[in-house]
Every structure is written in C-alpha cells, then in structure tokens.
C-alpha cells in the first residue's frame, strides 16, 4: 500500500513543473508553461466562439457596437496588433461581463457596456481581454489543468484500490491542485491582463486611472464576493489598490496620447 509520502513524491515533480518551468514568456516577462500549440488553441477558441454566437443573442444596438469596435481598434493598434485579424462581438446579455478566447476572439456583454461610466472604463475592460489573448493565458491554463489532472491520475494508480484512505487522499490532492496551483495562477493571469490593459489604454489615449474607478463600481455590484484565496480573480478591493498604483505610472503616457482617442 502506498503512503502519503509516496503520493507527494509523485506530485512534487508536477508541482515543480507548474511553478517553475516555462517554454514561453508573457508580455510582462513572466515565464510560462504552454504545452498546447498555437494552432490547437486558435482552433479551440474559434470553435467555442462560433458556438457562443449560435447560442447567445448578438446585440443589434448600433451605439454599443460602434463604441465597442471603435475602442477595440484603437486598443489593438496600441498593442501593435492588426485589428482586421480580430473578431469582436457584442452579446445582448445583462450580466456585466466580457471574455477573450484564443484565436483573437473577444466578446463583450451589453451589461458591461452599460456598467462602464465612460469610454475609458470600457477601454479598460477590452484592453484587459486583449491582454489575456496576447499573454496566451488560455494556453497556460489548459496546460496547467492537463498536468494537474495527470498528477491526480498518477496518484490514483499508485494508491491502488486497496488503500482505505484512497478517496480521502485523492480528494485532498484535488483540492491542493485547485487552491495551491490553478487558482493562484488564474489570479496571476487576471492581474497581468489588468496591467496590460492599462498599458494599452494609456497608449491609445484613455485615462488609465479609470481602470480602478471601474472596479470600485464592480466591487459595489459584486456585494459579498468569496475570500480571495478561494476565488480565481483578485478581490475588487485588491484590484482597486493595485490598479490605482499601476495606472498612476502611465498618466504621462496618457497625457501624451490623449489626442489620439476618437471613440466617444
């Protein structure tokens, strides 16, 4: 019968890989583990986006579409991307949400457009989503999940059916992977995308301090959010604090570029 020590020996190399290894570098200079190819991720993202367009109602609101696509063009130019290679869709959904998928796909809910108090705040949201795509967060998350699942499967085999503690230990291993590896990495992705979004919006001529203002409103709307260590996202209070500090570093860039902003 395998001991807990044996299970930890099995999991340690995988944990070490997830924590330290990297075969790519994010735009913020962080080492990343990406085991999926770009073409695989792009295909998965495109297929998922097409499915969402079939299932969800696409907004016909001319003002919402014009503003969202105008901001996307300016932010993509600031990120040195070709806007013609990206697809941006506004979905008629009341929830204040937006998302990004590999393959240069961005979706914005009408609820998020309505929540944003000005174009600068909406620019923070769209810039954040562009950041997720350019930083290959989808690939990184998929890679982490695959390796974590592999560790649980290895422990399952090592423990065997004869261990009375097998189910308990496997449950603990699953929680350890979720809270110890996958969630913290997800929060790291959110923070990285926030900061990239601030950079893009400032370069495009939108006030980077409005990113933190948006999260004040989001925090009020969220109400009782779960503790940060149990969430895949930083808490609204944490976000407001670091976005205020980080945004202040780009006020000079904004002041220089503000005449470029055309989307109002």
Report which of residues 201 and 13 the model is more confident about.
201
Q: Report the alpha-carbon distance of residue 103 to residue 138 in Å, rounded.
A: 10
Among the listed residues 27, 35, 3, 16, the one whose alpha carbon sits nearest the alpha carbon of residue 143:
35
**19 pLDDT more than 60:** no
Q: Report the alpha-carbon distance of residue 105 to residue 252 in Å, rounded.
A: 30
Highest mean pLDDT pick, 7-11, 113-117, 151-155, 238-242? 113-117
For the segment 147-165, the average pLDDT, to the nearest whole number, is: 56
**36 pLDDT more than 50:** yes
Q: What's the total number of domains in the chain?
A: 1
Residue ranges of E strands in 85-222: 87-91, 98-101, 105-109
Catalytic residue among 51, 80, 129, 190: 129
Is 228 a known active-site residue? no
**241 pLDDT more than 50:** yes
Query: Per-residue pLDDT tens for 191-226?
Result: 999 999 999 999 999 999 999 999 888 878 766 555
**152 pLDDT more than 80:** no
Q: Residue 108 forms beta bridges with which residues?
A: 90, 98
For the segment 239-258, the average pLDDT, to the nearest whole number, is: 95
Among the residue ranges 58-62, 116-120, 144-148, 153-157, the one predicted with the least confidence is 153-157
pLDDT at residue 168, as a whole number: 52
Which domain does 210 fall in, by range?
Answer: 4-260
């Amino acid at each position: 019968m395998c001991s807990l020590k044996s299970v930890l020996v099995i999991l340690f190399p995988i944990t070490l890989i997830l924590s330290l290894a990297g075969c790519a570098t994010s735009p913020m200079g962080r080492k990343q583990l990406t085991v999926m190819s770009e073409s695989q991720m792009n295909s998965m993202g495109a297929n998922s986006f097409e499915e969402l367009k079939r299932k969800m109602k696409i907004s016909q609101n001319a003002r919402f579409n014009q503003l969202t696509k105008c901001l996307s063009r300016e932010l993509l130019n600031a990120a040195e991307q070709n806007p013609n290679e990206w697809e941006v869709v506004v979905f008629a959904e009341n929830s204040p949400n937006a998302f990004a998928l590999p393959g240069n796909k961005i979706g914005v809910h009408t609820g998020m457009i309505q929540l944003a108090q000005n174009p600068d705040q909406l620019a923070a949201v769209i810039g954040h989503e562009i950041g997720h795509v350019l930083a290959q967060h989808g690939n990184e998350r998929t890679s982490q999940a695959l390796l974590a699942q592999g560790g649980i499967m290895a422990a399952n085999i090592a423990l065997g059916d004869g261990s009375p503690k097998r189910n308990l230990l496997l449950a603990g291993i699953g929680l350890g992977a979720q809270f110890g590896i996958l969630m913290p990495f997800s929060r790291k992705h959110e923070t990285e995308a926030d900061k990239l979004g601030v950079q893009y919006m400032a370069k495009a001529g939108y006030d980077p301090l409005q990113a933190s203002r948006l999260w004040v409103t989001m925090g009020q709307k969220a109400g009782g959010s779960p503790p940060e260590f149990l969430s895949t996202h930083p808490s609204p209070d944490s976000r407001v604090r670091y976005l205020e500090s980080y945004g202040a570093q780009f006020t000079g860039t904004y002041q220089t570029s503000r005449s470029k902003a055309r989307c109002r």
